[in-house]
Every structure is written in C-alpha cells, then in structure tokens.
Chain A
Amino acid sequence: MKSHPLLVLLLALLTLGACGKDETKPRAIPTPDPAAKPVEVKLCDNHTTTTVAGDAPKTRELGQKIADSLMTKWKEKNPEADWEVEERKSRTFLPSADNSAVLKAGSQAPGTPYRNFTQRDLDEWKRETETLVVAGSKVFHSGDELGSTIAVSCDMCHPNAANTHPETYPKFQTQLGRVALLRDMINWCLEHPVRAPKMDADDPRMRAMEAYIVSQRTGTTLSYGKH
C-alpha cells in the first residue's frame, strides 16, 4: 500500500526559456558544449538515477525521455506500485455508501470540527474505505498473501466472496460448539482448506479481508445468528 511518489524532476535545464516572458517566441536551444561532463539526474526517491550526456540539446523531448527512463526504473524496483489499479481491473467491487446527504443544507453544523464537512472529506472517506476493500480482495485472491502452504486461496470456493454470508455472524457454529464471528470462520478456513497459519484479529490482512467480504454483501439485510 505504498503511495505513488510525486515525480519531481530537478531539471532546471528544462525551465530555461520555458517560463520566461517571451513565450510566443521560438525558444533558443543552447548550443551543446562538447566539453561538458555527463549529468546525473536523480528521482525524488533520492535513489533512482539516470545519466544524461552533458552536451545533449536541452529540449522538452529530452526532458520527457529522462522522466520516462527514471519512472521505468522506479517501476521495476516497485512492481506492486499499481496494485490497486490492477486489482480494481481484475475484480468486481461495489461502491461504498453515498454520503452526499451530509453536505446538504441543514445537516452541517458550522463551527464544530465534527459535522462540518466538505466534498473533500467525502472523497477521502470513499477513497480510504474502498482502498481497504480492494486490499482485502488482493489478499482473498492470493494464496501467497494468505500464507497458504498448498497454493489455495479463498476465491477458489468463494468467487466474489459468494457464500461467505458475513451478514449471518455472529452465530452459534455447531461444528465449533461456540459462537463464531466472521473472523473465526476466516481463521478456520485458513487453518483447514487453505492450510495457512491463523491471523491475529488486528492483522492488516484480516482487517482488509473482513472489509472486502462485508463490502460484497452490501444491501443484504443483517441477520445475525442465521443458519
């Protein structure tokens, strides 16, 4: 769950003439200096670098080339960077609840930090909540992330989390002889069909999976104890 780094290129060379007052005039391309040494350009992660010939013409195209090359290197080092985009493309998700009513006149309480929201707050709630759900889907669909020793993942029996019925928990699980929560059943499945170690209740993977499983049943009536 790494955030996408802002690509800040320290390409002062590009800004030459790019933000001056004479923008309508064609830019003068500085004459290359055949004696110039190669220049090292560093990405904002402070690690990824690329080298440019010192005498290269300082054009916009070159700037783009440098940026692309740095980004390609960074992505190679961080292959999971686009995990959320990829996961969203692969699976089906239901949107989180529509909170637009919160912003309606009369439902705000100006002057108090709570109940004084903007669209930006709503966007953040949605983004953060749905990201947890998508993260849960990723764990749910990956034997590796689940820690399965036999390459089994939850979706093998529960595509789209079908037949997980989170709305029926807690319920007395006769086979366990006690009341089970959804996470107890997740842990039971981990230990048995999946053959993975149990997860702590606050394990980030457990929290994310609970989020995913519940999200897939949005709109279903809660009916705890149901068999």
Chain B
Amino acid sequence: MKSIETKYMEEREAVLRALARLDRRAFLKVSAGALGAAIAAGAGVTPHSFSLVNVAHAQDKPPEGSPPEGNPGTKAGPSPAKPTLANKPAGFTFAYISDSHLYKRELNDRFVRSLLRAVDDVNAMDPQPDFVLYGGDLAQLGQREELDLGAEILKSLKAPVRMMVGEHDWYLDMGARWRELFGEPNYAFEHKGVQFVVLNSVVEEDFWTPAKLSPMERMQTVAGLDNGKQRPFTVGEEQRAWLQKELASVPKTKPLIVFSHSPLYKLYKQWNFWTDDAEQVQAILKPFQRVTVIHGHTHQILTNRIGNIHFHGMLSTAWPWPYAPQGLPALTIQMNRPDPFNPNDGCGDGEVLVHPDGLVDKLYKLWNRNPVTVSRAYMSSSGKQDSPLAPNSGSY
C-alpha cells in the first residue's frame, strides 16, 4: 500500500515526463482526455492536477520496435549493435543534477538537503533515465570532506552517473581529490547512437603564483562569481587538441552532445558566464550536423543557438543566479524572478529527452513551480515555434 505522498510524487513525476514529450496540440488532446477520464473514473480519482497522468501515459507509447525504456543497470558505453538512427527510433532520456556547492555536512545542512531532494527527484523517475549527468560544482570550496560527501550522496542514485567538473571542485588542490573520486575530467562515450563528450571548461590561466596566493586563497578567489582577480575560463589548447582527435573518426551525421561546466560561448565575462576560447571549440563542433551543448555554472534557464549548435543551461540545487545585465542570448526566455521567501525557488534539476533525430527537449524541473520545456522545435525554428511561457516577473 503506497502512501498518499508517494502516490502524489509518482503521479507528479509521470506527468512531468509526459509533458516533456508533448507539443501543444497533443497537450490539449491529453488534457481533454484526462478530464474525461477523471470524470469517468469518479470517486477513485484524487482531485488534484495530476489526475491526467494515466491518459498521458497512453498517449506516450513508444513507437514500434523501440527498446525497453529505463534500464537502470545499463552502463553507458559503445553500443553493441552499431546503432544507426534508423534502427534506434525511440530516443532516450537522461537526467541532470548540477551545482550543489556542498560544504561539509556539519557546517551547512541547507545545500545538503537540496542535493538530497534532487537525488530523490531522479530516483522517483519511472522509467528511470538512462544515466544522470552531474553538471559540476559538487563542492563549494573543493575540500575533501565536501567532495566525499557529494560522492556519497550521488551513490544513492539508481541510474549510472556521469560526472563533470566545475571550478569549485578544482581550485583547492587543482583537481587531485576530484580525480581520485571520479577519474579524468574530460572523456567521451557513446550511448544509443549518440556521441557524448565531457569537457573541463574551467581552466584558468595561473593568476595565483604571481599573487602568492595559498591554495585556499586561490579557491576562494575562484569561488567568488564577481571576483575580478581571477581569469576567464577556457577549455585550453590541450583539451581542444584532444577533442579534435576524439571527434576525428565520428561521422558528421552522428548526433553530438557536449557537456561543459561553463557555457561554451561568450555571455558575460565579469561572472565567467563565458568561455574564452569558445570560438575555437565551436569551430571543432561546427562540422557536425546536430550538436547540443549542456552546461552548468549559470544556475538558470538559459537558451542559445549559434549555427547548428544548441546550448542549454542547467538549474542549480543550491541557489539561482540573477540573469547577466548584458549579453543575454535572444533565444533565452527567462525564468520567473525567484521569490526569496520561497525556499529553493529558482532551484531544481531536470532531464533531457534525446529524440531519435539526435535533437533534444530540455526539461527544467523547477522546484515549487511548473516545469519548463525548451523543445527541439523551439530550437530548430530559432524560436518561431513552441516557445516556452514568458515570465510574469522578469529581472529588474
């Protein structure tokens, strides 16, 4: 027997998932169907907004011949059947959690609770995502206790985890502990016919040696978003060469999804919403027909498109950032201004639905609010179709 809370959370999950896959017309259909179903079901239906979940599921049957969804045990890796998009028509989902900024548990329970909430969110997904991307900044000051605590919490995720590094994880010991826990920060893998690449995009030029900073002073300088003593983020020559080599043998028709902590474009230098060698990285990605970049660091809904490259931000579990005062991409529809009286407002986690054509729907699961989907239709039409709802309270 499930508790009302469990049922509610399950239904909520299911409806979020269903909504992510619907365009507007289908949504109206589903909503109408749900209303009918709710009336027909009568007394057995709990009167809340998630009643439409069963109907949404019915609408959402995967196409013929698709593999079963949500196999938690599946480790991402080279697919055995040499998958092409033609014989893998179903697409798949991965979840994301990002920017948790953990202090050690005794110092700050607030950020720990938020990460636990995100882990619960993802574990409640049914079917489970193929994997979970952790988007960087697991720790606040790169300390061993912080990284170890984060690693321990992420172990309770049911789906396999793919790690990405952020500047807060790195600049105390220059990645030593992070590497011990999670391996090299840049790597590539293939999953169901899609090529994935994970980058360390937070490489900063040495500003600490001339300034004679201690490791903790260096960390605290980098940890301040508006600290002007630090240098801009880069991917760096070494990793660009690695990326070029890694992608050399990948067919240009194969969908490519890149994970980077900072946005791989130039938005606002003062807050390092910025990658200094973005143009050079974009040049490597440009020959591919369908490229998606998923990045952390910005703690907000952020959408951009440069040529064939689609960019999506991730939400933080710890706190939302304000939108940058300049440089905001035209495609970005801002999320509502967070309400400081509503704990965790503007924070959350989310998922990415990778369609059979390799393009993605990006779902922002904002805690305490309606989720927002930035769909492939919106991206492909450069914002002409399927626009997410505009905020009713924007930035000042």
Contact = CB atoms under 8 A, between A and B. Distances in A.
Interface in B304-324: 318-322
Contacts of B321: 157, 159
A21 interface: no
A102 interface: no
Contacts of A3: none
Contacts of B341: 175, 188
B103 A159 contact: no
A151 interface: yes
B227 interface: yes
Contact of A162 (B109, B224, B229, B322): B322
Interface in A179-227: 185, 188-189, 192-193, 195, 227
Contacts of A89: 228-229
Contacts of A227: 393
A163 to B, nearest CB: 4
B270 A163 contact: no
Interface in B205-258: 221, 224-229
Interface in B323-352: 325, 337, 339-341, 343
A189 B340 contact: yes
Nearest to A164: B396
Contacts of A152: 108, 110
- Tier of interface size on chain A: 20 to 34
B46 interface: no
Interface in A151-184: 151-152, 155-160, 162-163, 165, 167-168, 175
B152 to A, nearest CB: 20
Contacts of A163: 322, 337, 395-396
B346 to A, nearest CB: 9
Nearest to B227: A90
Contact of B226 (A155, A165, A168, A175): A155
B226 A92 contact: yes
Given A90-B228, A92-B270, A188-B340, A157 B395 contact: no
> Which 3 A-B pairs have CB atoms at the shortest separation, nearest pair first?
A159-B226, A163-B322, A175-B341
